């Protein structure tokens, strides 16, 4: 990890209704040096204390109740500019276009490789306005 040890590790929030992914994704993110939290629904994320701190949102599309796109709209309505990386199990071109049009940075299709996710996160953090910190890809 570059930068001073006093630097706060960026918080990445994962919103996905799949329990196993809520378990594994944050673990992966922590493994590469991020702070990570997981939420089971858009509502849970919106009402949490981590909303403002989140540097990047990794968001599932197909969720019961409030979908990923719904959450994106709601955040926009609230004036929140958290960069969003969508993850989804369904290849739907319309949804992809809509998400990107509404300002998402990236659309990843499950199952995605860890490098694809990390590249997307790096892109967000480097160009997303913050003092970007590149995070190590594994040496493969």
Question: Which positions lie near other proteins, rule CB under 8 A?
Answer: 18, 20-21, 23-25, 27-28, 31-32, 62, 87, 89-91, 109-114, 138-139
Q: Closer to other proteins at the Cβ: 78 or 137?
A: 137
CB of 110 to other proteins, least distance (A): 4
The nearest distance, CB 39 to other proteins, in angstroms, is 16
Closer by beta carbon to other proteins, 13 or else 75: 13
Q: How far apart are CA 30 and CA 18, in angstroms?
A: 19
Element (H, E) at 126: helix 114-127
Q: Which residues face 106 on adjacent strands?
A: 85
Query: In angstroms, what is the minimal distance from the CB of 72 to other proteins?
Result: 20
Nearer Cβ to other proteins (33/129): 33
Min dist. Cβ of residue 129 to other proteins (A): 27
Rg of the Cα trace of the chain? 14
**Angstrom distance (rounded) from CA 37 to CA 25:** 9
> Between 11 and 62, whose beta carbon lies closer to other proteins?
62
Give 25 or 75: the residue with its C-beta nearer to other proteins. 25
Angle between helix 68-77 and helix 93-101 axes, rounded to 10 deg: 10
Do 54 and 75 touch, CB atoms closer than 8 A?
no
Separation of alpha carbons 132 and 119, rounded Å? 12
Shortest distance (Å) from residue 47 CB to other proteins: 25
């Amino acid at each position: 990890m570059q930068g001073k040890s006093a630097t706060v590790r960026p918080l990445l929030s994962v919103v996905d209704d799949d329990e196993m992914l809520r378990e594994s994704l944050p673990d992966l993110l922590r493994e590469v040096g991020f702070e990570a939290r997981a939420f089971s629904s858009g509502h849970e994320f919106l009402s949490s204390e981590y909303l403002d701190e989140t540097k990047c949102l990794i968001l599932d599309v197909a969720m019961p109740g409030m979908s990923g796109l719904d959450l994106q709209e709601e955040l926009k309505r609230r004036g929140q500019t958290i960069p969003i990386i969508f993850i989804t199990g369904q290849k739907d071109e319309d949804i992809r276009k809509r998400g990107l049009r509404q300002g998402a940075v990236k659309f990843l299709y499950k199952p995605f490789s860890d490098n694809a996710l990390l590249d997307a996160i790096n892109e967000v953090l480097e160009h997303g306005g913050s003092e970007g910190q590149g995070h190590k890809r594994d040496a493969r």
